[in-house]
Amino acid sequence: NFLPGSGTLHHLRLPPLTDSVRVDTGILQGDAVSIFYDPMIAKLVVHAPTRKEAIQGLVQALGQYQVVGLPTNIETSIHAGLSLAS
């Protein structure tokens, strides 16, 4: 179920940001997300010398992400990354 959701972002912890991990977002913990906003509240970008290393970094960063209060596709993205990395 990938329908967008609305609500209050009660808890947000981003993965550690490094030279190879970037998060583009405009939302903060405590912000309300209404049905009138784009459902993509953040974009996680990971780069590495190889595709496999980038996917591994992405899976690691996704595992460190914490979002409470809104539905996410983090778990699905982790599973997709794991299947691509193998």
Q: What is the pLDDT along the chain (86 residues), one digit of tens a residue?
A: 677 788 999 999 999 999 999 999 999 999 999 888 777 889 999 999 999 999 999 999 999 999 999 989 999 999 999 999 87
Exposure string over 26-38, b if 16+ CB within 10 A, otherwise e: eeeeeeebeeeee
* Whether pTM exceeds 0.85: yes
Q: How does DSSP assign 18-46, residue by residue?
A: -SSEEEEE---TT-EE-TTS-S--EEEEE
What dihedral do alpha carbons 4, 73, 15, 35 form, nearest 10°? 0
Q: How far is the C-alpha of 78 from the C-alpha of 35, rounded, in Å? A: 26
